[in-house]
Amino acid sequence: MNNFNYYIPTRIFFGPGSIKELGTAKLPGEKALIVISAGPSMKKYGYLQKVQELLTNNNTESVVFDKILPNPVKSHVMEGAELARKEKCDFILGLGGGSSIDSAKSIALMVKNPGDYWDYIHGGGGLGKGFKEPVLPVVAITTTAGTGTEADPWTVITNEELHEKIGFGGDDFFPVMSIVDPEMMLSIPPGLTAYQGFDAFFHAAEGYIANIATPVSDIYALKSIALLAEFLPVAVKNGKDLEARTKIALANTLSGMVESTSSCTSEHSMEHALSAFHPSLPHGAGLIMLSESYFKYFAEVCPKRLMEMSKAMGEAGKKPADFITALIKLQKNCGVADLKMSDYGIEKNEINKIAENAHHTMGGLYDMDRKTLSLEETIKIITAAYK
């Protein structure tokens, strides 16, 4: 019977075609910095042009910053903030996947606050300073179903020099408005669909076993897990299936709401360490590689929670191992059961370094586990996951 706080002030427009809301909704400023990835897709599929057109219809100016990498980096946060200042933007619009939206949140911090982004970061080499100036309002338009960042106050940025990939955020970082339009997700290729879907899955699953889970985060988490178990394989198989895309988009937004009301756990610390050293490793793929070993460990810590999750996935839910069975089945159905760390150049002799990085940079999430893992236990979990 936990006490809890609930606070998700974001206005979310959800559903096929909901992008049109951008043309009429009350926006938080007069000139947007549109933050998109360095890749071609936002232009190729016409999403950028659509957003620019709707902003114009809504009497709002905009300028584009198009340098964001899949694992977004600090130098681009600083560069984007500089551009927003120069162009006198008064809000930041993140368009794309988690990398663009997270970058938008971090840029929003740095437009008015002085110094370096890492000055404000807690953990690793961050200085953990408080910020005194306001964070600019953020509008999030998500074109993937993975991070849930459109419904949470978190942003994950990598410091390239320090090899630190660290989450940061708080109440000031909730998007004021988010648009989740599954029609803008139809072109995601199968592999990425699976990786992103599993990222959402683990936000829900970790949030469900976290020690700060609440009755409200629990209902979001179980619904998200149920939707992903049913519809992620469908969306991986046929990316044009709008119903399946809509269901996994909903699962993802619910997972963001889990992030806002509960927390990720140390599985995310471990994955951030993996991809901090191996930036080509997709975050979702890293999580999938770690998951069997990680959740087997927690099967003994919170067996009932694993049973409930397995029930949401259509298993009998009579023993905690049912969750592992369901997890592997879902991975197989999505074609991602055979991912290997070695395929991404991760070597076995790096495991100690990776485990240390996980504790050093994202130690906070270890406090969210129902049983606190030692460095040795982290090493064991990663070693068991190594293929």
Give 25 or 69: the residue with its C-beta nearer to its own copies: 25
Cβ-based nearer residue to its own copies, 11 or 163: 11
Name which of 36 and 177 has its Cβ closer to its own copies. 177
Cβ proximity to its own copies, 250 vs 287, nearer residue: 250
Q: Which is nearer to its own copies, 220 or 297 (CB)?
A: 220
Which residue's CB is nearer to its own copies, number 26 or number 86? 26
Give CA–CA dist 353/345, Å, rounded.
15
b/e per residue, 269-307, with b = 16+ CB within 10 A? bbbbbbbbebbebbbbbbbbbbbbbbbbbbbebbeebbb
Query: Hey, how many other C-beta atoms are within 10 angstroms of the C-beta on 69?
Result: 17
Looking from the CA of 172 toward its CB, the CA atoms found within 13 Å total 14
Query: Which of 6, 332 has the CB closer to its own copies?
Result: 6
In angstroms, give the least distance from the CB of 132 to its own copies. Answer: 16
Smallest Cα–Cα separation from 363: which of 264, 257, 275, 292? 264
The answer to whether residues 153 and 173 touch, using CB atoms and an 8 Å cutoff, is yes
| Contact yes or no for 366/268 (Cβ under 8 A) | no
**Nearest-approach distance from CB 233 to its own copies, in angstroms:** 18
Quick count: other Cβ atoms within 10 Å of Cβ 251?
A: 28
- Report the residue number, 16 or 364, with the smaller CB distance to its own copies: 16
Closer to its own copies by Cβ: residue 20 or 31: 20
3-state secondary structure 74-133: HHHHHHHHHHHHHCCCCEEEEEECHHHHHHHHHHHHHCCCCCCHHHHCCCCCCCCCCCCC
Residue 166: beta bridge partners? Answer: 157
Coil, helix or strand at residue 156: strand
Cα 18 → chain centroid: 21
Could you tell me the sign of the dihedral formed by the alpha carbons of 312, 313, 314, 320, in that order?
A: negative
CB of 87 to its own copies, least distance (A): 29
Residue 9: CB minimum distance to its own copies, A: 4
Q: Considering only CA atoms, which of 301, 298, 303 is closest in space to residue 319?
A: 303
- Tell me the closest approach of the beta carbon of residue 23 to its own copies, in angstroms: 15
Q: What minimum distance in Å lies between the beta carbon of 306 and its own copies?
A: 20
Distance, in Å, from the CA atom of 371 to the CA atom of 300, rounded to the nearest integer, reads 10
Least distance CB 366 / its own copies (angstroms): 25
Give 377: exposed, middle or buried? Use CB within 10 Å, 0-12, 13-18, 19+: middle
Give the residue with the Cβ less far from its own copies, 120 or 174. Answer: 174
Q: How far is the CB of 143 from its own copies (least distance, A)?
A: 17
State the residues that interact with its own copies by CB under 8 A: 1-18, 215-216, 219-220, 223, 243, 246, 250, 254
User: Minimal distance in Å, beta carbon 25 to its own copies?
Assistant: 10
3-state secondary structure of 62: strand
Q: How far is the CB of 342 from its own copies (least distance, A)?
A: 40
CA distance 228 to 142: 18
